[in-house]
Structure 1
Amino acid sequence: MKYDLIPNTLFIKNRKKFMAAMLPKSIAVFNSNDVYPISADSTMPFEQHRDIFYLSGADQEETILLLFPDALNKKHREVLFVRETNEHIAVWEGEKLTKEKATIVSGIETVYWLEDFEKIFFDVMTEANTVYFNTNEHYRQAVETQTREDRFIQKCKLQFPAHQYAKSNPILQEIRGVKEPEELALMQTACTITEKGFRRLLSFVQPDVWEYEIEAELLHEFIRNRSKGFAYTPIIASGNNANVLHYIENNQQCKSGDLILMDVAAEYANYSSDLSRTIPVNGKFTPRQKEVYNAVLRVKNEATKMLVPGTIWAEYHKEVGKMMTSELIGLKLLDTADVQNENPEWPAYKKYFMHGTSHHIGLNTHDYGALKTPMKANMVFTVEPGIYIPNEHMGIRLEDDVVIQEKGAPFNLMQNIPIEAEEIEDLMNKN
C-alpha cells in the first residue's frame, strides 16, 4: 500500500464496538471484495470492501474476518483468514500478508490461511445460534453485481438452514458514522492532499486549457503525495457542463469568461475527502458570477453552523432550503409568487438547487452513518450547496468536509483550501 501503516488500535476499537452490539451466541462474517474482470486477462484495480477494512485493516483480496465473542475456544473469538502466500505469488503479484504481518496490521492474534475457513467455520457454527450477514443497505446503493458477500450468504443459508440470521448493517451504520481520532487524522491527510492538488491548479488553469488536462494535474499531485488517486470519479465541468450534476466526461475546452466547477478530491488509506470549488477560466469572476458565487458561499457558511449535536438531517435540509430560497430571490431568480405557489414536495428553490446539502463521509465518499436520529459529535459531513443556471451558462457549487464537535462550531477539515472569490482571483493571477 502507498499509505503509512495505520495503528491497529483503530481496528481493535472498531471490532470491540461491533461485537458489543451482537446478540449472544452469534457470529459475524465479513468478506473482501472480488477482483473484477474487464476482459481477456485484464482486471480492474482492487478496492477493498470498506467494512472488512474498517474492522481489520486488511487491504487485500481473498480475505475473511470472523467475529464470535462467545466462542468456547478463545482463539476463535476474532479470526482473520488470508490468502496463503508463497514465492511464486511474491514474484508475480508482489508481497501479500503473512500470518505475522496480518496480526500486526489488524491486532488479531488468530490468523489462518483461507483454505482453512470451511473447517473452522463449521466448527464454530456448532456453537452459534445466529449469523450476521453483511448486506449493503446504504440509502443510495444500486448494486447489480453479485459479490463474494452475496455468494457466502447463499451458501451459508443452504449449509446451515437451522440457524437464525441477522444484519450487520444497522450496527455498522451506527458505529461507522462516528469517527475515531485515528480516522479523523487519515481524513485530514486526504483533505491536505486535496489542498495541494487544488493549489497546483490555480496557477495552471488558463483560457483554452482542456478539462482532462486539469484532471491530469490533480491526479499527478494526488499520487505524488501517497494517494491512490481520486476518491471518486472526478467532475471537471466548464461552462454549461457544470449544469450536469454528474458530468464526468471531462473532454471539453475551457473558454475565457466561463467558470469551471470541479468536484474532485483525493483518497488516503481508503478514506475519502470530497471537495467542490468553482473558479473562473481567465482568473477573474464577472460581477454576476461573483454575485451568484457569494450567494452559494453564504448558504454554505450558514449551513455549516447548523451541523451540531442534536441536529436532524431531514430538518437541516429544510432549513438550508429556506436559506437558498432567500438567496435566489435576492439574485432575482425567484420571486415571492414562485415561493407562494410552490409545490411543497418540490419547493421552488429546487429549480436551481436540486441536490442535497450534506452527506456522511469517511471510508466511502457517501459513507455509512445514521440519518434519522440526532447528529453526534465526531460525525463528518460534507456541506455542498450549489446554484445552477443553464440560461446564464454557469453552475456553481462549493463544498467542504466538516467534523461535528461536542461543543462549538464544526471543524472544517478543508479550512486551508482557498474559497473566497478574491483569494482565488489573487492566486490565479499571482504569476
Structure 2
Amino acid sequence: MKYHPIDNKLFVKNRKNFMSAMRPSSLAVFNSNDMYPISADSAMPFEQHRDIFYLSGVDQEESILVLFPDSPKEKHREILFLKETNDHIAVWEGEKLTKERALEVSGIKTVYWLQDMEKVMFELMTQCDTVYINTNEHYRASVETQTREDRYTDWLKKKYPAHTVAKSNPILQRLRSVKDKIEIDLMQQACDITNKGFRRVLDFIKPGVWEYEIEAEYMHEFLRNRSKKFAYTPIIASGNNANVLHYIENNQQCKAGDLILMDVGAEYANYSSDMTRTVPVSGRFSDRQKEVYNAVLRVKDEASKMLVPGNLWEPYHIEVGKLMTSELLNLGLLDKADVQNENPDWPAYKKYFMHGTSHHIGLDTHDYGLLHEPMQSNNVFTVEPGIYIPEEGFGIRLEDDLVIQESGEPFNLMRDIPITVEEIEDLMNS
C-alpha cells in the first residue's frame, strides 16, 4: 500500500461498535471485493470493499471477516480468513498478509487460512441463531454485477437455511456516517493532497492546454504524495463542457476567455476527498464570470453554516434552494414571474442548479449515511452549489468537504485550498 500504516485501534473500535448493535446469538460475515477481469489475463486494479476495510483494515483480496460476539470460544469472537501466502505468490505478486502482519493491521488475533473457512464456519453456525449478511442499500446504489459478497451470501443461506437472516447495512449506515478522529485525519490528508494538485494546475493552465493534460498534472501530484488514484473519475470541463454535470471525456482544448470547472479529489488510504473549483483559462475572470462566481460562493458559504447537529438533509436543501433563487434573481437569470409560477416539485432555480448541494463523504465519495436522520457531530458532508448557463457558454461549481462540529460552524477540511476570485487570479498571475 502507498499509504502509511493506520493505527489499528480505529478498527478495534469500529468492530466493538458494530458488535454492540448485533442481536444476541448472532454472527456477521464480510467479504473482500472481487478482482474484476478485463479480458485475456488482464484485471482491473483491486479495490477493497469498504465495509471489511472499515472493520478490519485488511486491504487485500479473498479475505473474509467474521464477527461472533457471543461465541462460546473467546478466540472465535473475531476471525479473519485470508488467502495463504507462499514463495510463489511473493515472487509474482509481492507478499500478502501473514497471520502476524494481519494481527498488526487489524488487531484480530485469530487468523485462519481460507481453505479452513467451511470447516470453521460449520462450527460457528451450529452455535448461533442469526447471521448478518452484508447488502448494498445505499440510496444511489445501482449494481448489476453479482459480487463476491453476493455469492457468499447465496452459499451461506443455501447451506444453513434454518438460520434467521439480518442485515448489516443499517448498522453500518449509522456507524460509518460518524467519523472517528483517525478517519478525519486521513480525510484531511486526502484533502491536503488535493490542495497540492490544485496549486500545481494553477501554474500549468493557460490557453491551448488540453483537459487531459490538466488531469495528468493532478495525477502526477497525487501519486507523488502517496495517493494511489483519483477518489472518483475526474471532471475537467472547459467552456460549455461544464454544463454537462458528469462530463468525464476530458478531451477538449482549453480556449482563451473560457472557464474550466474541475471536480477532482485524491483518495488516501481508501478515504475520499471531493473538491470542485472553477478557474479562468486566461488567468482573469470576466466581469460576468466574476459576478456568477461570487454568487455561487455566497451560496456555498451560507449553506455551510447550516451544517449543524439536528438539521435534516431535506429541509436543508430547501433552504439552499431559497438562497440560490435569490442569487439567480439578482443575476437576471430568473424573474419574479418565474418564481411565482414555479412547480413546487421542480422549483424555478432548478433550471440553473439542478443537483443536490451536499452528500456524505468518507470511505466512499458518496458515503453511507441515513438521510432521514438528523445531522450530528463528525458527519462529513460536501457543499457544492453551482450555476450552469449553457446560453452564456460556462458553468460554475464550487465544492468543499466539511466536518460537522458539536457547536458552531463546521470545520472545513479544504480551508487551505484557494477559492476566492482574488486568490485564484493572484496565483495564476504570480
Q: Distance between the aligned counterparts of 2:204 and 2:157, measured in 1?
A: 56
C-alpha deviation, 1:95, in angstroms? 1.3
Q: Distance between the aligned counterparts of 1:168 and 1:157, measured in 2?
A: 15
C-alpha deviation, 1:369, in angstroms? 1.2
Look up the match of 2:13.
13
Look up the match of 1:91.
91
Q: Distance between the aligned counterparts of 1:341 and 1:114, measured in 2?
A: 63
Look up the match of 2:217.
217
Q: Distance between the aligned counterparts of 1:359 and 1:95, measured in 2?
A: 37
C-alpha deviation, 1:184, in angstroms? 0.3
* 1:142-161 to 2 correspondences below 5 Å: 142-161=142-161
Q: Distance between the aligned counterparts of 2:333 and 2:130, measured in 1?
A: 57
Look up the match of 1:399.
399
C-alpha deviation, 1:141, in angstroms? 0.5
- Deviations along 1:358-415, one digit per CA (max 9) or x if unpaired, are 0000000000012111100000000000000000000000000000000111000000
* 1:106-121 to 2 correspondences below 5 Å: 106-121=106-121
Q: Distance between the aligned counterparts of 2:354 and 2:100, measured in 1?
A: 51
Q: Distance between the aligned counterparts of 1:4 and 1:202, measured in 2?
A: 28
Look up the match of 1:181.
181
5+ residue gaps, structure 1, are none
Paired letter, 1:309: P
- Deviations along 1:151-173, one digit per CA (max 9) or x if unpaired, are 01111111111100000000000
Identity rate, percent? 75
* 1:12-411 to 2 correspondences below 5 Å: 12-411=12-411
TM-score (structure 1 length as normaliser): 0.99
Q: Distance between the aligned counterparts of 1:114 and 1:203, measured in 2?
A: 50
RMSD across aligned C-alpha pairs, in angstroms?
0.4
Q: Distance between the aligned counterparts of 1:386 and 1:312, measured in 2?
A: 21
1:203 aligns to what SS in structure 2? Answer: helix
1:144 aligns to what SS in structure 2? Answer: coil
- Deviations along 1:178-231, one digit per CA (max 9) or x if unpaired, are 000000000000000000000001111000100000000000000000000200
Q: Distance between the aligned counterparts of 2:155 and 2:110, measured in 1?
A: 24
Paired letter, 2:48: Q
Paired letter, 1:100: E
What is the aligned length? 430
Paired letter, 2:272: S
Paired letter, 1:350: K
5+ residue gaps, structure 2, are none
Q: Distance between the aligned counterparts of 1:380 and 1:372, measured in 2?
A: 16
Q: Distance between the aligned counterparts of 1:129 and 1:173, measured in 2?
A: 23
Paired letter, 2:44: M
1:219 aligns to what SS in structure 2? Answer: helix
Paired letter, 2:25: K
Q: Distance between the aligned counterparts of 2:357 and 2:177, measured in 1?
A: 17
Greater than 4 Å deviation, 4+ residue runs = none
Q: Distance between the aligned counterparts of 1:65 and 1:377, measured in 2?
A: 29
1:156 aligns to what SS in structure 2? Answer: helix
Paired letter, 1:6: I
- Deviations along 1:89-121, one digit per CA (max 9) or x if unpaired, are 000000110000000000001011111111111
